[in-house]
Copies of this chain bind each other. A is one copy, B any other.
Amino acid sequence: MLGEFGRIERFLRPLAVGCPGALNLTDDAAVLSVPPEHELVVTTDAMVAGVHFFPDDRPDDIAAKLLRVNLSDLAAMGAAPFAYTLMLSLPRTLDEHWLAGFCAGLEADQARYGISLAGGDSVSTRGPITVAITALGVVPCGRALTRQVSGPADRVAGQRVFVTGTIGDAALALALALGDLSPEPPLSAAAVAALTTRLRRPEPRLTLGVALRGLATAAIDISDGLTADLGHIAEVTGCTAFIEWARLPLSETVRTLVDRHPALLASVVSGGDDYELVFTAPPEARAVLAALAVEQGVAITEIGWLEFGSPGRVDILDQNGQPLTLTRRGWNHFTDAEPPTSGAV
């Protein structure tokens, strides 16, 4: 069995080759040059076995998800990937195949998203596998997207709400995996696989986030659920968000399931792990957003609007414009039953 330095040499050092400032992982810290006229964007997300993923999930899937949930936070700020550090707290009994698989997952995604390992720490634990990444991104000075719509009141209140891709896939994949959802007739294997990929390999909307600089007036990624995350924009902006249920972009599988089991609507709008972007923009941005969606091959759907008052409230409206009642508003760590989801500090 390799010692700590042997593991670093074999599995982690190759991940740092693309980052000269990582100093080959031989020094106390990395030394990085942020491009001139850019700001640094920093986020940390952790995942724990049995809380954020199933202990027997493939290690490359766990690695990919860990990196992607961090990159999704960069996307929501309009930042481009720059570098990341890795924290591994691993049971002593874990074999090296696990670490090899985990690092293979990181390696593939480093190439996919153009980011490299800058440093980190590996420790042993008697508890469950716990992994964390601190991702660094860069954005031209003053151009980061935030959660707060700023500007004159009449402009803020006129904002429309948009979402990328489709929502609810990850939440229903989780419900299937947990056995909470057993549709009759059963879904096809292909449909289950597609949903599961959304849960295990979310797609951080990085290039779209960069393109939304100066176009979106506020943005957030959907990690805790559409209503919870849009609620953050609504809260800091002093608004209620109104969402028209009929406009929500759903995959064919999710639409079929919700049509059959309307109670699943709650999971679709409040389940986490979609990692799509929800953002606001003025109505006059519609044409540019439509062109952007075509250019990037990612759906951008207008789903509602903001109105002043009851800060943080999110109302889902039915076909008649009446608010629907939901049973939960996204997960909240420490108080709910443990869900496989993550929440930023």
Residues of chain A having any CB pair with chain B under 8 Å = 1-5, 7-8, 12, 21, 23, 25-34, 36, 39-48, 50-52, 73-74, 76-77, 79, 83, 85-89, 92, 118-128, 130, 132, 134-137, 139, 141, 144, 146-148, 220-221, 232, 236, 332-335, 338, 342-345
Contact = CB atoms under 8 A, between A and B. Distances in A.
Contacts of A44: 85-87, 119-121, 134
Given A30-B41, A48-B127, 7 more contacts: A28-B221, A28-B344, A29-B42, A32-B39, A119-B344, A121-B343, A123-B342
A342 B121 contact: yes
B334 A31 contact: no
Nearest to A147: B27
A135 B236 CA distance: 28
Copies per assembly: 2
A125 B124 contact: no
Contacts of A122: 333-334, 343, 345
Chain A binding surface, main DSSP class: mixed
Given A48-B125, A123-B51, A124-B333, A32 B40 contact: yes
Nearest to A90: B334
5 contacts: A28-B344, A32-B40, A42-B83, A89-B130, A126-B127
Contact of A119 (B32, B86, B345): B345
Contacts of A128: 125-127
Contact of A31 (B3, B41, B92, B345): B41
Contacts of A21: 39
> Considering residues A29, A31, A118, which has the most beta carbons from chain B within 10 angstroms of its beta carbon?
A29
Given A125-B128, A128-B126, A146 B27 contact: yes
Contacts of A130: 89, 125, 127, 130
Contacts of A86: 44, 345
B127 A29 contact: no
> Considering residues A23, A28, A89, A335, which has the most beta carbons from chain B within 10 angstroms of its beta carbon?
A28
For the complex of A and B, the 6 pairs showing the least CB-CB separation, nearest first, are A127-B127, A29-B43, A134-B134, A4-B333, A120-B345, A44-B85
Given A1-B335, A4-B343, A130-B130, A85 B42 contact: yes
Contact of A147 (B26, B30, B32, B48): B26
A132 B124 contact: no
Given A4-B332, A92-B334, A50 B345 contact: no
